[in-house]
Amino acid sequence: GAGVSQSPSNKVTEKGKDVELRCDPISGHTALYWYRQRLGQGLEFLIYFQGNSAPDKSGLPSDRFSAERTGESVSTLTIQRTQQEDSAVYLCASSWDGNQPQHFGDGTRLSIL
C-alpha cells in the first residue's frame, strides 16, 4: 500500500484532553496538507507543508491547533484542550509538489465527549 496513511482511524476523547493525529504521506511527496471535514460538509484547509519552507498555517482555527512535519515524511497534528466543536474527520493529503493533485488518506474521525 503506497497511499497516504493516517492513524488512528478513530479517536474518542474527553473534552479538555490533548490529541495527536499522525499522517504518513506517499513516499517522495514534498507537499503535505491537513484538512478538517465536519459532518456533511466540504473540506476546510488547516495547514500546508512544502519541503523545507515555512508552513502555511493560515487555516488553523485557533492556537490550540498545531502541526509539525519531520523533513518530507511524517506529520502530526496536535489539538490541545479539545472542545466539542473539534469533533470532525481530520484528513491528510500529499502531493509531489504544490501544483500536482493531492492524494488523501482516509482520515481520523475525532469525537470529543
Residues that bind other proteins (CB under 8 A): 4, 31, 33, 41-45, 48, 50, 56, 58-59, 91, 93, 98-99, 101-107
Whether 26 contacts 92, CB under 8 Å? no
Instruction: Please identify, using beta-carbon distances, which residue of 58 and 70 lies nearer to other proteins.
Output: 58
SS3 84: helix
Q: What single letter denotes the amino acid at residue 4?
A: V
Please give the DSSP secondary-structure letter assigned to residue 56.
Answer: B
Instruction: Please identify, using beta-carbon distances, which residue of 42 and 71 lies nearer to other proteins.
Output: 42
Instruction: Please identify, using beta-carbon distances, which residue of 58 and 84 lies nearer to other proteins.
Output: 58
CB of 23 to other proteins, least distance (A): 11
Whether 48 contacts 31, CB under 8 Å? yes
